[in-house]
Amino acid sequence: GNGLPATVNNLTIDNTGGAGNNIVTLGASHTVNGVLTFTNGNIATGANSIILPVAATVSGAGTGKYVNGNVQRAFTAGSPTFPIGDGSNYAPVDLTFTGITTGGDVTASTTASDCAGSSGIDTAKSVNHCWTLTNSGTVFTSYSPTFNFVGVGTDADAGANTANFIVRRFSGGTWSATTNGTRTATSTQATGVTAMSDFAVGESSLANTTSTV
């Protein structure tokens, strides 16, 4: 274990051991009631989670300073950010909700590879992450997730055109389309999503269909 109590008021991560040695590895899930501050280094959760109640905030997250694993956030309103990444890159998710009627928890994580299966994303022109969102108890009308990445040639394939990126969602064994929102060189948004599961981002691999009369 890492010696942390199960619940802390504030937690500062400041490990300066250099690449590969600046990681705090969790042996259990931990709740941070106040401020989770990143100064240096990552938290690796494994199968555990960093749990952030409604009043908790995050400070300093960014390149080389984030949670590699699961972040569980509780909220009743607002636009929570999940300071997640994989073993190499920061790839946070921002969620903007419409019509929350019951507050709950959402857990987010990302892996350092394309989602498995036929997602409808061209794996040669994709963001090399598979994001997973899991809802527990939150009742809402819809939400708009923004999936952030470092950029083309880093954690998105060289030659990919971020202006053409789409978000595809996996649920119940089926991949489906989402509605495009804002797209930048380092982020892709979907809008009006009504449930949570796995998400892939990149250029479409689906052939355009045309009809002639």
| Distance, CA of 51 to CA of 69 (rounded, Å) | 12
| pLDDT given for residue 18 in this prediction | 55
| pLDDT given for residue 206 in this prediction | 83
| Distance, CA of 133 to CA of 110 (rounded, Å) | 9
| pLDDT given for residue 77 in this prediction | 86
The token pair at 128 is: 């090399």
The token pair at 212 is: 């002639």
The token pair at 8 is: 């802390």
What is the DSSP-derived secondary structure letter of residue 208? P
| Distance, CA of 104 to CA of 137 (rounded, Å) | 5
Residues linked to residue 94 through DSSP beta bridges, in sequence order: 81, 146
User: Which helix H or strand E contains 200, and what residues bound it?
Assistant: strand 198-204
SS3 content of the chain, % helix, strand, coil (to 5): 0, 55, 45
| pLDDT given for residue 210 in this prediction | 44
| pLDDT given for residue 2 in this prediction | 63
| pLDDT given for residue 211 in this prediction | 44
Instruction: Say how many residues make up the chain.
Output: 213
Is 0.85 surpassed by the pTM of this model? yes
| pLDDT given for residue 16 in this prediction | 73
| pLDDT given for residue 172 in this prediction | 87
| Distance, CA of 73 to CA of 94 (rounded, Å) | 12
Weakly modelled stretches of the chain, pLDDT under 50: 209-211, 213
Rg (CA), the chain: 18
